Amino acid sequence: MSGNVPASKSYPPSEETVAHAHIDAAKYDEMYAASISDPETFWRNEAGRIDWIKPFTTVKDVDFSHGNVSINWYSDGTLNVAANCVDRHVETRGDQTAIIWEPDSPDEEALHITYKDLHTSVCKMANVLKDLGVSKGDRVIIYMPMIPEAAYAMLACARIGAIHSIVFAGFSPDALSARVNGSEAKVVITADEAPRGGRNTPLKTNADQALLHCSDKVKCLVVKRTGGQTTWTEGRDFDYNALAAEASADCPPEEMNAEDPLFILYTSGSTGQPKGVVHTTGGYIVYAAMTHEITFDYHDGDIFWCTADVGWVTGHSYIVYGPLANGATTVMFEGVPTWPDASRFWQVCDKHQVTQFYTAPTAIRALMGKGNAFVEGCDLSSLRLLGTVGEPINPEAWNWYNDVIGKGKCPIVDTWWQTETGGHLMTPLPGAHAMKPGSAMKPFFGIEPVVLEPTTGEIIEGNDVEGVLCIAKSWPGQMRTVWGDHERFEQTYFSDYKGYYFTGDGCKRDADGDYWITGRVDDVINVSGHRMGTAEVESALVAHGKVAEAAVVGYPHDIKGQGIYCYVTLMGGEEPSEELRKELRTWVRSEIGPIASPDLIQWAPGLPKTRSGKIMRRILRKIAENDFGALGDTSTLADPSVVDDLIENRMNKS
Give the residue with the Cβ less far from ligand 6R9, 182 or 392.
392
Nearest residue to 479 (alpha-carbon basis) of 428, 437, 525, 420:
420
520 is in an annotated binding site: yes
39 is in an annotated binding site: no
Q: Using CB atoms within 10 A of its CB, is residue 250 exposed (0-12), middle (13-18) or buried (19+)? A: exposed
Interacting residues of 373 by C-beta distance below 8 A, sequence separation 6+: none
528 is in an annotated binding site: yes
Among 192, 237, 309, 414, indicate the residue that binds ligand 6R9 (CB under 6 A): 414
**Helical spans, DSSP H, in 443-577:** 486-494, 534-542
581 is in an annotated binding site: no
Residues 184-223 that bind ligand 6R9 (CB under 6 A): none
Among 417, 483, 494, 587, indicate the residue that binds ligand 6R9 (CB under 6 A): 417
Minimum CB–partner distance for residue 618 and ligand 6R9 (Å):
19
Nearest position to ligand 6R9, beta carbon: 419
What is the Cα–Cα distance from 419 to 279, expressed in whole angstroms?
A: 9
Q: Which stretch binds ligand 6R9 (CB under 6 A): 107-115, 137-145, 502-510, 644-652?
A: 502-510
Minimum CB–partner distance for residue 469 and ligand 6R9 (Å):
9
Q: Are 452 and 426 in contact (CB under 8 A)?
A: no
Q: Does 505 bind ligand 6R9 (CB under 6 A)?
A: yes
Give the residue with the Cβ less far from ligand 6R9, 123 or 310.
310
Minimum CB–partner distance for residue 364 and ligand 6R9 (Å):
12
Q: Does 267 bind ligand 6R9 (CB under 6 A)?
A: yes
516 is in an annotated binding site: no
Minimum CB–partner distance for residue 391 and ligand 6R9 (Å):
5
Among 258, 313, 383, 441, indicate the residue that binds ligand 6R9 (CB under 6 A): 313
Three-state DSSP class for residue 238: strand
Minimum CB–partner distance for residue 445 and ligand 6R9 (Å):
18
Find the helix packing angle between 282-295 and 39-46, rounded to 10°. 80
DSSP 325: H
What is the Cα–Cα distance from 493 to 486, expressed in whole angstroms?
A: 11
Q: Which stretch binds ligand 6R9 (CB under 6 A): 36-44, 153-161, 503-511, 612-620?
A: 503-511
Give the residue with the Cβ less far from ligand 6R9, 84 or 291.
291
Minimum CB–partner distance for residue 524 and ligand 6R9 (Å):
7
419 is in an annotated binding site: yes
Q: Does 418 bind ligand 6R9 (CB under 6 A)?
A: yes
Q: Which stretch binds ligand 6R9 (CB under 6 A): 91-99, 168-176, 334-342, 387-395?
A: 387-395
Task: Identify any residues that bridge with 199 across adjacent strands, giving them in sequence order.
Answer: 196
Give the residue with the Cβ less far from ligand 6R9, 492 or 503.
503
Own/partner contacts of 448-456, CB < 8 Å, gap of 24 or more, are 448/36, 448/472, 448/473, 449/425, 449/507, 449/515, 450/500, 451/507, 451/509, 452/497, 452/500, 453/1, 454/1, 454/506, 454/521
My answer on whether omega of the bond before 428 falls inside 30° of 0, hence cis, is no
Helix (H) or strand (E) holding 419: none
639 is in an annotated binding site: no
Q: Which stretch binds ligand 6R9 (CB under 6 A): 89-97, 296-304, 411-419, 454-462?
A: 411-419
87 is in an annotated binding site: no
Three-state DSSP class for residue 101: strand
Among 261, 392, 430, 449, indicate the residue that binds ligand 6R9 (CB under 6 A): 392
Q: Within 10 Å of residue 184's Cβ, how many Cβ atoms?
A: 14
Residues 33-52 that bind ligand 6R9 (CB under 6 A): none
What is the Cα–Cα distance from 321 to 184, expressed in whole angstroms?
A: 24
**DSSP for 495-525?**
SSSTTSEEEEEEEEE-TTS-EEEEEESSSEE
Q: Using CB atoms within 10 A of its CB, is residue 38 exposed (0-12), middle (13-18) or buried (19+)? A: exposed
Among 82, 310, 385, 440, indicate the residue that binds ligand 6R9 (CB under 6 A): 440
Residues 508-547 that bind ligand 6R9 (CB under 6 A): 517, 519-520, 526, 531
What is the Cα–Cα distance from 435 to 18, expressed in whole angstroms?
A: 13
197 is in an annotated binding site: yes
Site string for ligand 6R9, 111-140 (x = CB under 6 A): ------------------------------
How many helices and strands, by DSSP H and E, does the chain display? 22, 30
437 is in an annotated binding site: no
Q: Using CB atoms within 10 A of its CB, is residue 637 exposed (0-12), middle (13-18) or buried (19+)? A: middle
314 is in an annotated binding site: yes
Annotated binding site for ATP: 390-392, 414-419, 505, 520, 531
Q: Specify binding-site residues for Mg(2+).
A: 542, 544, 547
Name the site residues for ligand 6R9 (rule: CB under 6 A).
267, 312-314, 389-392, 414-419, 440, 503-505, 517, 519-520, 526, 531
Provide the annotated binding site for CoA: 196-199, 314, 528, 589
